[in-house]
Amino acid sequence: MGHLTASAWVVNATRSHVLLTHHRKLNRWLQVGGHVEEGDGSLLEAALREAREECGIQAIAPLQTTIFDIGHHPINTAKEPPHLHYDLRFLLVAQDMEFAVSEESYALGWFALDEVHTISDSAALHRMTRKLAGQSLSPSL
């Protein structure tokens, strides 16, 4: 079984870089995000909250209100039984590139789109990178 999660593909204002986290529990680079909480008014609000909590950047806003990407992945940690995360991903822009690493991460980093493949073999990260590279610079709100 599994549950929904909401994550954020956070880009800089020029869309040349994406913010990724070296996740502490999963020990891999991925987009910021996490579980939907009771107080979240929507999946987009959950993604915004998670992004702000995990990177410390408050000036983050949606580039579009629709889902940017959908994925699923298994979670196998010692603290919980194996399950699936059905992850809904939103495209967000950070106006500030100064971040703070939270306790959920080993590290955070801004990566140029053409660098993402060098730090991760994740098909999902590569797909989102290609999607972003193919979009125009005007927001679609």
User: Which residues lie across from 67 on neighbouring strands?
Assistant: none
Model pLDDT, residue 140: 42
User: Which residues lie across from 10 on neighbouring strands?
Assistant: 19, 92
Rounded distance, CA 26 to CA 33, Å? 13
Residue 137: is its pLDDT beyond 50?
A: no
pLDDT band for position 138 (50/70/90)? very low
Q: What is the mean pLDDT of residues 115-138?
A: 86
Model pLDDT, residue 60: 97
Can you spell out the DSSP letters for 17-41? EEEEEEETTTTEEE-EEEE--TT-S
Name the residue among 110, 81, 98 with its Cα closest to residue 15.
110
Dihedral angle sign, alpha carbons of residues 79, 82, 86, 89: positive
Q: 0.95 cut: is pTM over it? A: no
Model pLDDT, residue 76: 76
Instruction: For 12-141, list the strands marked E by DSSP.
Output: 17-23, 28-30, 32-35, 60-62, 69-77, 80-94, 105-112
Rounded distance, CA 46 to CA 42, Å? 6
Q: Is the CATH number 3.90.79.10 carried by domain 2-133?
A: yes
Model pLDDT, residue 135: 73
Model pLDDT, residue 74: 80
Which residues are CB-contacts of 42 (< 8 A; sequence separation ≥ 6)?
Answer: none
Q: Could you tell me how far CA 121 lies from the centroid of its own chain? A: 16
Q: Which residues of 73-108 are buried (b: 16+ CB within 10 A; e: fewer)?
A: eeeeeeeeeeeebebbbbbbbbeeeebebeeebeeb
List, for residues 17-63, the tens digit of each pLDDT value: 999 999 998 899 999 999 999 999 999 999 999 999 999 999 999 99
Model pLDDT, residue 141: 40
Residue 139: is its pLDDT beyond 80?
A: no
Residues 107 and 101: beta-carbon distance below 8 Å:
yes
List, for residues 79-101, the tens digit of each pLDDT value: 778 878 899 999 999 999 999 99
